[in-house]
């Protein structure tokens, strides 16, 4: 058969997945690995359409059809090099990106034949290449005398460091935690991203010349003015950690917790790391998670593994309009989570401790400024959902440090650092020597968008330094 029609005879086949009845008692990743011949076969289903919608829908604009072709031809190391030309964390994005809303959702074969398994192949490329001894080619790099400080070792900071060292700039990354990765390490549960994957990426970056200064809080352990004095430019990638609240009665009752401290405490407990975050155990509790994004999915699936008696996800829109990954919703359903769609939380009930969440049924009205249908409450539809514990997962906003103002770095009304991609030097802040990207610039968003902005800011820095 003509290879361009391989997709007709060969259906989409994802890597093996651990059954739900087994994985709810485990913390490891639930998706297995492709064998090389399966990866090649699945990559060969790509029809190399003339206008690769997958590539345009990908926030970092990966050369997807190109590295699929290389994998189909057995040219693994070339595929790994090409993958790294656009993405500094491909094996991580392959695991945690919502491909069903991005590249695979835009695949020409998605309607009727099954999209190419782009995410799984992206993960396979780096994992298998590293197993076979591949390392990024740094032989062409010409070292310069320039030094750049990076504040924050999350995805934006790591991506910025990667681009800088590949262009001969010394990148020194400061972070307050004992390990790199930010929420990749401390927030995302191990069943989605095992921490050894992040540690492996750290090792690769260190081999390339990146220096990490950890357990160092800029503004406390080292003054930002010191960085200004010692480095040619600075990149800020400190993320968004302040939880957004619903503003309804009862949010401060005992038993109500925020998503991020809950997830961080659990990851540290599972990994055996010392920590100042409380470990919140949901065993034998009736748990309600408020929100419909990927953080909410992380919370419901964590509570299931902790042995909660029941876990409900309460979301004010329908399933079609939820912001999270459809794959994560399906995994959550398999693991026993109950979804309550079109339910608007309006109060957390209880005396000192929560006992239930009061909700109103909603119907979807006219689209808002982002094109999403507004939920409208149905009067008289209120009901109470039992909940011993409530997890607030409405998203996060930046927490700008006091020293930003001191150093003429402006923030907007939503506390996001002002750094435009359309500036003469992309992602330059109002302090010419300081650049910024990721969640602290755009607000809470995907890991892959933080990677993109970190890389774009690095390009702006290189231009600014005339390299």
Q: List pLDDT tens digits, range 50-66.
A: 889 999 999 999 999 99
Cβ-contact 239, 154 below 8 angstroms: yes
> Does pLDDT of 369 surpass 70?
yes
Instruction: Please state, for a pLDDT cut of 90, what percent of the chain lies above it.
Output: 91
Query: Per-domain residue ranges for the chain?
Result: 3-131, 147-240+398-464, 243-395
Q: List pLDDT tens digits, range 293-308.
A: 999 999 999 999 999 9
Q: What is the pLDDT of residue 141?
A: 96
Q: What is the pLDDT of residue 50?
A: 82
Q: What is the pLDDT of residue 367?
A: 84
Q: What is the pLDDT of residue 3?
A: 62
Weakest mean pLDDT among 48-57, 123-132, 153-162: 48-57
- Mean local confidence (pLDDT), 412-431: 95
Distance CA 127, CA 151 (A): 28
Q: What is the CA radius of gyration of the chain?
A: 23
Q: Under CATH, which number does the domain 147-240+398-464 receive?
A: 3.50.50.60
> Does pLDDT of 339 surpass 60?
yes
Cα–Cα distance list, 322 to 98, 315, 319, 342, 391 (Å): 12, 8, 5, 10, 17
Averaged pLDDT of the chain = 95
> Does pLDDT of 111 surpass 90?
no
> Does pLDDT of 393 surpass 80?
yes
Q: List pLDDT tens digits, range 165-204.
A: 999 999 999 999 999 999 999 999 999 999 999 999 999 9
Alpha helix (H) residue ranges in 26-182:
36-43, 53-57, 64-72, 76-86, 90-96, 118-131, 155-165
Helix, coil or strand: residue 221: coil
> Does pLDDT of 224 surpass 80?
yes
Cβ-contact 356, 349 below 8 angstroms: yes
Distance CA 174, CA 195 (A): 19
Q: Hey, do 3-131 and 243-395 end up sharing a CATH topology, with the first three levels equal?
A: no
Cβ-contact 161, 460 below 8 angstroms: no
Q: Closest Cα partner for 386 from 340, 352, 341, 322?
A: 340
> Does pLDDT of 275 surpass 70?
no
Would you tell me the crossing angle of helices 294-305 and 259-271 to the nearest 10 degrees?
Answer: 50
Domain 3-131 is in which class?
mainly alpha
> Does pLDDT of 17 surpass 90?
yes
Distance CA 372, CA 365 (A): 9
> Does pLDDT of 2 surpass 60?
no
- Mean local confidence (pLDDT), 263-271: 95
- Mean local confidence (pLDDT), 15-29: 97
Q: Does domain 243-395 have CATH number 3.40.50.300?
A: no
Q: Closest Cα partner for 178 from 246, 239, 110, 264?
A: 264
């Amino acid at each position: 058969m003509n290879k361009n029609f391989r997709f007709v005879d060969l259906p989409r086949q994802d890597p093996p997945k651990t059954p739900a009845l087994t994985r709810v008692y485990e913390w490891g990743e639930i998706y297995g690995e492709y064998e090389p011949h399966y990866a090649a076969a699945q990559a060969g289903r790509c029809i190399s359409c003339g206008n690769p919608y997958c590539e345009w829908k990908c926030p970092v604009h990966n050369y997807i059809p190109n590295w699929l072709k290389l994998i189909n031809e057995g040219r693994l190391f070339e595929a790994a090099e090409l993958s790294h030309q656009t993405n500094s964390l491909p094996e991580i994005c392959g695991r945690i990106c919502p491909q069903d809303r991005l590249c695979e959702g835009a695949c020409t074969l998605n309607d009727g034949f099954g999209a190419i398994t782009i995410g799984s192949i992206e993960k396979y490329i780096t994992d298998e290449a590293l197993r076979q001894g591949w390392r990024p080619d740094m032989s062409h790099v010409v070292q310069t005398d320039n030094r750049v400080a990076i504040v924050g070792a999350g995805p934006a900071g790591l991506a910025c460091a990667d681009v800088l060292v590949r262009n001969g700039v010394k990148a020194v990354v400061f972070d307050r935690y004992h390990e790199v990765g930010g929420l990749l390490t401390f927030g995302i549960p191990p069943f989605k991203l095992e921490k050894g994957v992040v540690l492996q990426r750290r090792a690769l970056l260190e081999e390339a010349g990146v220096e990490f200064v950890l357990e160092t809080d800029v503004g406390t352990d080292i003054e930002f003015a010191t960085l200004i004095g010692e480095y040619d430019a600075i990149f800020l990638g400190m993320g968004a950690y302040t939880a957004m609240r619903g503003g309804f009665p009862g949010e401060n009752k005992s038993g109500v917790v925020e998503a991020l401290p809950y997830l961080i405490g659990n990851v540290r407990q599972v990994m055996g790391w010392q920590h100042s975050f409380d470990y919140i155990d949901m065993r034998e509790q009736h748990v309600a998670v408020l929100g419909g994004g990927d953080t909410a999915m992380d919370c419901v699936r964590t509570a299931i593994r902790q042995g909660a008696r029941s876990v409900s996800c309460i979301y004010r829109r329908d399933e079609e309009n939820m912001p999270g990954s459809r794959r994560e919703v399906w995994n959550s359903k398999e693991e026993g989570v109950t979804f309550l769609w079109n339910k608007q939380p309006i109060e957390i009930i209880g005396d000192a401790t929560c006992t239930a969440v009061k909700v109103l049924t909603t119907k979807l009205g006219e689209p808002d400024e982002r094109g999403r249908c507004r939920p409208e409450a149905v009067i008289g539809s209120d009901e109470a959902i039992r909940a011993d514990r409530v997890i607030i997962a409405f998203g996060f906003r930046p927490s700008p440090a006091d020293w930003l103002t001191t150093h003429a770095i402006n923030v907007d009304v939503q506390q996001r650092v002002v750094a435009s991609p359309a500036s003469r030097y992309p992602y330059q802040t109002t302090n010419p020597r300081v650049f910024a990207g990721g969640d602290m610039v755009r607000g809470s968003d995907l890991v892959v968008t933080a990677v993109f902005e970190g890389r774009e800011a690095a390009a702006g820095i290189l231009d600014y330094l005339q390299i």
